[in-house]
Amino acid sequence: MNNDQKILRELAAVYAGFAFDYANDEKEKLHRAVNDLRMIRPVVTIEELPWSEMDIDHELTLRCDDPDLRKAEWHLRTCIFKCRHFRADLLLDKFYPVSKIILSTGCGVDIDEKTIGEQKIGGVVSHEYHDQMPEPEDLRKFHNPVISYDEKSTLRFYDKIADAIGDVLPVKLVGAQADYSIWDWIAMLHGVENMFLDLKQRPEFMHEAADTFMRIIMSEIKQYEELNLLEPDLKYIHCTPATASDLPASEDGKVRAKNVWGRASAQIFCDVSPAMHEVFDTNYMVQLLKPFGLNYYGCCEPLHNKISIIEKIPNLRKISITPWADKVKSAELINKKYVFSAKPNPAFVALKNFSRDAAEKELRLILDACKTNGCSLDITLKDISTVSGNPYNIIEWERLVMGMVNSL
Mean pLDDT of 80-109: 97
Note the pLDDT of residue 346: 98
SS (H, E, C) 189-236: HHCHHHHHHHHHHCHHHHHHHHHHHHHHHHHHHHHHHHCCCECCCCCE
Beta carbons of 116 and 44 less than 8 angstroms apart:
no
Strands 261-264 and 294-297: parallel
Question: For the segment 32-62, what is each residue's pLDDT rounded down to a tens digit?
Answer: 999 999 999 999 999 999 999 999 999 999 9
Note the pLDDT of residue 126: 79
Residue 167 has pLDDT above 90, yes or no: yes
How sure is the predictor about 259, in pLDDT bands with cuts at 50, 70 and 90? Answer: very high
Question: For the segment 103-118, what is each residue's pLDDT rounded down to a tens digit?
Answer: 999 999 988 887 766 6
Mean pLDDT of 230-259: 95
> Exposed, middle or buried, 57 (CB in 10 Å: 0-12/13-18/19+)?
exposed
How sure is the predictor about 120, in pLDDT bands with cuts at 50, 70 and 90? Answer: low
Residue 371 has pLDDT above 70, yes or no: yes
What domains are defined for the chain? 3-406 (3.20.20.210)
How sure is the predictor about 247, in pLDDT bands with cuts at 50, 70 and 90? Answer: very high
Question: For the segment 373-393, what is each residue's pLDDT rounded down to a tens digit?
Answer: 999 999 999 999 999 999 999
Residue 76 has pLDDT above 70, yes or no: yes
pTM of the full predicted structure? 0.95
Looking at the DSSP assignment, which residues form a beta bridge with residue 179?
A: 263
How sure is the predictor about 119, in pLDDT bands with cuts at 50, 70 and 90? Answer: low
